[in-house]
Amino acid sequence: EGPVAPGDAAAALAAVDEMFGDGGAAFGAAGDVVVVEEQMEGPEISLLAFCDGEACACMPPAQDHKRAWDGDRGPNTGGMGAYAPSPQISAAELATAEEMMRAAVRGLQEEGRPFVGCLYGGFMLTADGPKLLEFNARFGDPETQAVLPLLESDCFEVMRACATGRLAALPPLRWADAVAATVVVAAGGYPKKYAKGLPVAGVDEAGGLPGVRVFHAGTRRGARGL
């Protein structure tokens, strides 16, 4: 999806050549501008929060896996799977990350731009503590598929409280004392060029297994099935 984490200067230059090279920009118009950032080392944690413009209720921390292949190898993707809650983050680190989320919501409110919805914070757990990589104004994919199944409170009521500014009036959110994981099945070649229209088998069987839910993205039913 664009982010590249090169291991050395030669790999970084090769990535830039791929984006700007004569052979055709790898990312199309999205690659017209390249941003070079500090490369931080450590586990990555995703922290999502329900927000009503003033209050902020964080969800359990999740961790997704970006590399396309097994063994943490291959190109970066939008996420090949996730699990929650993540044991990678300590209680002290989680408290720091949650305060960063609340500070962002307070700051937007003070600027006259209250944020209502789901705020996604992407953190790196570095040797110097949690560092914020990015914010997204949406649920994270594939983290959501691992986080929301753990929610025992009524999700509709939580979202309605966000929309009406009553999140603080709700009881504390209830989460299952359990873990959840999601695995992404993608066509070969992803995240670069890959074949489309391929048949997908075994979905109904998988969905019938205890504790298993199947979510779809980019699929459709046709004459040959899914």
Which residues pair with residue 49 across a beta bridge?
58, 119
At 178 the pLDDT is: 97
State the pTM of this model: 0.82
pLDDT in tens, 73-131: 988 888 899 999 999 999 999 999 999 999 999 999 999 999 999 999 999 999 999 99
Which residue spans within the chain are E strands per DSSP?
A: 44-52, 56-58, 63-64, 67-69, 73-76, 81-84, 116-126, 129-136, 180-183
pLDDT in tens, 129-181: 999 999 999 998 999 999 999 999 999 999 999 999 999 999 999 999 999 99
